[in-house]
Amino acid sequence: MNPGSPVHAIPDMFQPVSAPAEAIRQLWWLVGGISIGILLVVGGILWWCATHFRARPGEDREPPQVYGSNQIEFAWTIVPVLIVLVLFLATARTIYDVQAMVPPKDALEVTVVGHQWWWEIRYPGLGVVTANELHVPASVPGARRPTFLTLESADVIHSFWVPQLAGKTDVVPARRNRMWVEPTETGTFLGQCAEFCGTQHANMLLRVVVDSPADFAAWVEAQKRPAVADPRVAVGRAVFESTACVSCHTVAGTGADGTFGPDLTHLMSRATIASGAADNAPDRLRAWIVDPHAIKPGALMPAMKLPDDQVDAVTAYLSTLR
């Protein structure tokens, strides 16, 4: 949609662009600072004791032994308790602040469903369904527009994590978890399933494309349209519709209405396929259809064993789904 906007290749939690991630970074610096402080003090005392009290040449007696000191016992109980209290209060406040956010009435609502090993993305209010690449509008001063996510799972526990936007939230079967993001910068932000969910867990990547409000509106309009029937790829379409592809994939405006795999209506609007396992380039797309397991071993799409000419035709058809 917006080819000029940057892809942030490193999902760096120290470069937040959204309120919940900013709160987490601030908390990290407090917790990290205190922890580094403790490390230095304890390590320093240890080093000082080890060098200062070591036996000198010619010393053969044990040093005086000290048994019990109420003052020392008292100090090393109270000080850690106070430190833990500070960490607890700061953490509780951050969690509360993030969770207390009530969706404003023009918030965008998105449902994300974790599958082995891809993300289904639905915009219930807009009638849009896509996969793996979540588009959200940037929140701009004067027209704040946070996005609220409802997280569901189709199978096992996954976890939704885009470090520059928000903290991790688990995606648990038979539960609805909620989280929100409010990015203030456009660009593509990368994330990853953060809960081991089977063989292809590591290839369950996430891309969040933050569009300007105008680009986002244009993207929604394009996604709402059904697939355009292009007579030049009628053969490929016929192959697609006469094989099992249709029992797992939806192409809006055709008879294909499977929901086991990603919606393909606007496949070409995505930069990657198979949850980031491959670029969405013609040769990769063809290789995927020939044998998904060559790209993503264990993926839940079978190798369809189509003859070469049919693979070419189906690839040509899919390439028209913009």
- Nearer residue to Cu ion within complex by CB, 204 or 267: 204
Rule CB under 5 A: choose which of 162, 204, 267, 274 binds Cu ion.
Answer: 204
Judged by CB under 6 A, the chain residues 174 through 213 that form the site for ligand HEC are 200
- Nearer residue to ligand HEC within complex by CB, 25 or 286: 286
Tokens matching residue 51 = 């060098």
Rule CB under 5 A: choose which of 166, 197, 206, 274 binds Cu ion.
Answer: 197
- Per CB under 5 A, 171 contacts Cu ion: no
- Per CB under 6 A, 300 contacts ligand HEC: yes
**Size of residue set near Cu ion by CB under 5 A:** 4
Residue 121 near residue 154 (C-beta atoms within 8 A) = no
- Per CB under 5 A, 113 contacts Cu ion: no
Rule CB under 6 A: choose which of 19, 20, 112, 118 binds ligand HEC.
Answer: 118
Beta strand pairing call for 205-211 and 187-193: antiparallel
Min. distance of Cβ 249 from ligand HEC in angstroms?
A: 5
Min. distance of Cβ 10 from ligand HEC in angstroms?
A: 23
- Per CB under 6 A, 218 contacts ligand HEC: no
- Per CB under 6 A, 304 contacts ligand HEC: yes
Q: Which amino acid is at 62?
A: E
- Nearer residue to ligand HEC within complex by CB, 17 or 251: 251
Min. distance of Cβ 115 from Cu ion in angstroms?
A: 8
- Per CB under 6 A, 299 contacts ligand HEC: yes
- Per CB under 6 A, 267 contacts ligand HEC: yes
Q: Which residues of the chain form contacts with Cu ion (CB under 5 A)?
A: 158, 193, 197, 204
Q: Which residues of the chain form contacts with ligand HEC (CB under 6 A)?
A: 117-118, 131-132, 200, 240, 243-245, 247-249, 260-262, 264, 267, 270, 273-275, 285, 288-289, 296, 299-302, 304, 306, 314, 318
